[in-house]
Amino acid sequence: MPTLSDIQSARERVRDEIALTPCTRSLVFDDLVRAKLHFKFENQHRTGSFKERGALNRLLHLSDEERERGVITASAGNHAQAVAYHASRMGIPATVVMPETTPLIKVSNTRRHGAQVILHGQRFSEAIEESKRLQAERGLVMIHAYDDDLVIAGQGTLGLELAEQLPEVDTVIVPVGGGGVISGTAIALRALKPDVRFIGVEVEAAPSASLSRERGEIVEVETSETLADGIAVKRLGDRTFPIIEEHVEQLVVVSEEAIARAILLLLEREKTVVEGAGAAPLAAILSGKIELRPDETVVGVLCGGNIDVNMVSRIIDRGLVDDGRLARLRVTVRDRPGSLARLTALVARAGANVLEVAHQRAFADISVGDVEIVIHLETRGREHVEEVIELIRSTGTRVEEVVRPSRLYGASPT
């Protein structure tokens, strides 16, 4: 297990090449969060995540002979980019095995940073097994994403920064996948401030830490597709599990819907882009999974910002639907000239904006003389949608709102 001294040495080692990320008070969530909420912006590293800390510390320990041989790693994306970037900068050949389901932005960025990328398997665990096979076959040096003392020590530099940036911190909330960042951060900060409370956040698709704690041993889980691909890990590390058991008071699990909402709120309010794993701390807070006091100083670690822009677009659209700022109405009118014009005039009178209109005749459950109009609206929110509906109904017109399925990730609107 790394010590405070190991982490302090790691900081001196990586200081010149790792960004000192901001840790600032978030006033924009005061209406939703009771505590004094701060964010540690780990999405502002060169490759978009905290993984640079541990990867660089491990690479700097390679001998000349190991550098010549080259390194290999398996990663769902962020560790891959960190290894690729710093290995390339140091002139070290790097091979990265990534699951075939890895978001395109993480694959393309890893290649752009100079690594050989091999896509293998549907899950992170399959990529790990392939990396072990290639390591033995090619004589490469393994740079594990989290189950390595040097990597854990590197991640722990985050804790040293928190101690300096926010000495009054009471609670630190950290996403948990393999457990490297929460382990290193807890070791460092606890040594300097023993009363700090650590809370780990997992996603429903990969609750390995929570199940392992329940059973008192490392439990492997079958992961499923998730927005939080960065923490969709089958099992904790052999090194990280005992550290988490010693230092982390609480482990909570959040849903896909909660993560998506947190991503949208961070984008809209905090003006920062985070990936699913990075949004997990805020998702846990807003879901009521963590009890906070009004006088409590809390830090949520926004561990990464590497998210596909297409996914961001989907999350924004679904989030706007949740808030009622996008609505879809099904209106039945007589199939006569002027019916559509009268309908849109009502919508305009209510102050809503028409985004899309479609007519349905043959496939709608209506009389032959009617037409069903499906209209997509931009509104001010849920109450505004109700105002539009009531205005249309006041003319004797049949109208209903089309509500999409409740599951935000992986579902299609009705």
pLDDT at residue 231 in the model: 92
State how beta strands 250-254 and 297-302 pair: unpaired
Q: Do domains 4-50+149-318 and 56-142 have the same CATH topology?
A: yes
Residues with Cβ within 8 Å of 78's Cβ and at least 6 positions away in sequence, in order, are: 47, 48, 49, 50, 51, 106, 230, 303, 304, 306
pLDDT at residue 404 in the model: 61
Residue 374 parent element (H or E): strand 370-378
Residues with Cβ within 8 Å of 293's Cβ and at least 6 positions away in sequence, in order, are: 34, 35
**All structural domains of the chain with their residue ranges:** 4-50+149-318, 56-142, 324-401
Mind listing the pLDDT tens digit of every residue in the chain (414 residues)? 999 999 999 999 999 999 999 999 999 999 999 999 999 999 999 999 999 999 999 999 999 999 999 999 998 789 999 999 999 999 999 999 998 988 888 899 999 999 999 999 988 778 889 999 999 999 999 999 999 999 999 999 999 999 999 999 999 999 999 999 999 999 999 999 999 999 999 999 999 999 999 999 999 998 888 999 889 888 999 999 999 999 999 999 999 999 999 999 999 999 999 999 999 999 999 999 999 999 999 999 999 999 988 899 999 988 888 888 999 999 999 999 999 999 999 999 999 999 999 998 887 788 889 999 999 999 999 999 999 999 999 999 999 998 765 444 443 332
Rounded Cα distance, 378 and 327, in Å: 7
pLDDT at residue 405 in the model: 53
pTM here is 0.88
Rounded to the nearest 10 degrees, the angle between the axes of helix 51-59 and helix 78-89 is: 40
pLDDT at residue 70 in the model: 97
Q: What fold does the segment set 4-50+149-318 form as a domain?
A: Rossmann fold (3.40.50)
What is the length of the chain?
414
* Bridge partners for 398 per DSSP: 332
Domain 56-142, CATH among 3.30.565.10, 3.40.710.10, 3.40.50.1100, 3.30.1960.10: 3.40.50.1100
pLDDT at residue 365 in the model: 82
For domain 324-401, the CATH class is alpha beta
State how beta strands 71-74 and 36-41 pair: unpaired
